[in-house]
Amino acid sequence: MFDLTGHVSIVTGGNGGLGLAYCRGLVKSGAKVAIWGRNEAKNASAIEEIRAMGGKAEAFVCDVTDEAEINAAFKQTLNRFEKVDSCFANAGGGGFRGASHTIGRQAWLDTIDLNLMSVVQTWAPITEHFLERKIPGRLIVTSSVAALIGSGGAAGYSTTKAAVLGLTQALAVELGKAGIRVNALLPGFIETEMSLDTSEAFQESARRRSAIGRIGELEDMEGAAVFLASKESDFMTGQGIVLDGGSTIYPL
């Protein structure tokens, strides 16, 4: 079970944080990974790490808010690996911070572009690839528990992470009969560069609310990524898997 030998996966934002954790899990199960990231130095470092593990990987420079760069990266990926079996739309960010009523229109649009439209644009050519080749592909997006419980001072983040859950459900219905499965991962507080760029009070609250007594580590993300990429998840679509140590159900 969970054998991904011969499987090719694209991971956007795969050069660090959650994306690199997905890559580690995927290559441990035999998959090849195409990392799409904006930072060439981080791309190179991630590839070096994956190859040191014995994995097969390539990196392609790509800004997922730029449709032309997405199409170019996808073409490069196909030239290198000949096919794609799954895509983790993981690249994104926190967006604006502050009271939502004080935030201008452009900041809202930039956050929507970063966390929602980037997923729509990334998945479009890959979905076409799946359909043309009759590949029972996997589309996975990184959402967040902020989609479920809100995040005061980061309304754009909560809004866009909730929006990708709606996208996940809609595409699961559209593509299910073609054998394509669409799901989301909803991490809680995981020790990443982005999550640690928060206040000490927020971090302490995350630790205190963990039902299992700790916050998330990057290794906690690997197994879920492998499951969603594999045939073992064939009966799951349109769903969001919460990985939060029980924080969203922990009593106040």
What residues act catalytically?
Answer: 157
Contact 161, 93 (CB under 8 A): no
What are the phi and psi torsion angles at 143 (to 5°)? -95, -140
State the alpha helices, DSSP H only, in the chain.
Answer: 17-28, 40-52, 67-81, 105-112, 118-133, 146-149, 155-175, 200-208, 222-229
Beta bridge partners of 241: 185
Quick one: which of 22, 27, 25 has its CA closest to 5?
27
86-89 vs 8-12, strand pairing mode: parallel
- Strand, helix or coil at 179? coil
